[in-house]
Amino acid sequence: MQTKDGESHAAQVEMMLPGWSPRQQEQSAPTLPTPPARLPRITRLMALAIKFQDMVDRGEVRDYADIARLGYVTRARITQIMNLLHLAPAVQEEILFLKCAPPERSMRPLTVQPLWDRQLRIWRRLKAENQINASFASDPDSSAAPDQTVAGGKFQRRANAQLRATPVTGTGGLPLRGAL
């Protein structure tokens, strides 16, 4: 910096910001943390169903219709999500901890199956088909398999066929009212 007289002056100013020092910056490696892998949509929906049920149980919301209003979704969609709670506990646990799971639409026939052992058999088949279909691993947010149509695809057709194939029976081998 020069003054009117032509003299030049220089000044060096050091400022310390709280929580930061040049030494700390030099010592820390510039590695960025890897972002966590995105969870499959069905896993997120299962966790959401558990959270919603907890909210209803604690009285934070009156019913599922309140949740639908708060979330700006239809009551039918909330019902679809909440029906995931009808799955066998073993299936729910696997959904929560799987890295790659079948699409939510293919799980809907399972939620109406009242017998957990049949749910488990159908679940194992869906899971095996999912592991064979590598495209799910590349897109965890996919709501449908590549060969699925909007009306339902391979997974849903197989699950529906398995549900129709065996009659639902109650105590003593008598068919339950309203069985398939």
Q: What angle do CA 99, 131, 110 make, to 5 degrees?
A: 80
The answer to the question of residue 15 being in a domain is no
Answer yes or no: is 177 within a domain.
no
Q: Which domain holds residue 142?
A: 41-166
Residue 128 has a pLDDT of 82
Instruction: Please check whether residue 146 lies inside any domain of the structure.
Output: yes
Residue 173 pLDDT greater than 50, yes or no: no
Across the chain, mean pLDDT equals 74
- What is the per-residue pLDDT across 118-167, written as a single tens digit (0 to 9) for each? 999 988 888 888 765 644 444 445 444 444 333 345 555 555 555 555 55
What is the count of structural domains for the chain? 1
Mean local confidence (pLDDT), 96-109: 83
Q: Is 89 a member of any domain? A: yes
Is 116 part of a structural domain of the chain?
yes
| 3-state secondary structure string across the chain | CECCCCCECCCCCCCCCCCCCHHHHHHCCCCCCCCCCCCCHHHHHHHHHHHHHHHHHHCCCCCHHHHHHHHCCCHHHHHHHHHHHHCCHHHHHHHHHCCCCCCHHHHHHHHCCCCHHHHHHHHHHHHHHHHHCCHHHHCCCCCCCCCCECCECHHHHHHHHHHHHCCCECHHHCECCCCC
Q: Give the pLDDT score at 87.
A: 94
Q: Is 136 exposed, middle or buried (0-12, 13-18, 19+ CB in 10 A)?
A: buried
162 versus 103: which is more confidently predicted? 103
- The helix-helix angle for 104-111 and 41-58 (nearest 10°) equals 50
Instruction: Give the pLDDT score at 127.
Output: 82
What pLDDT digit, counting tens, does each position of 4-34 carry?
777 777 777 776 666 666 665 555 555 666 7
7 located within any domain: no
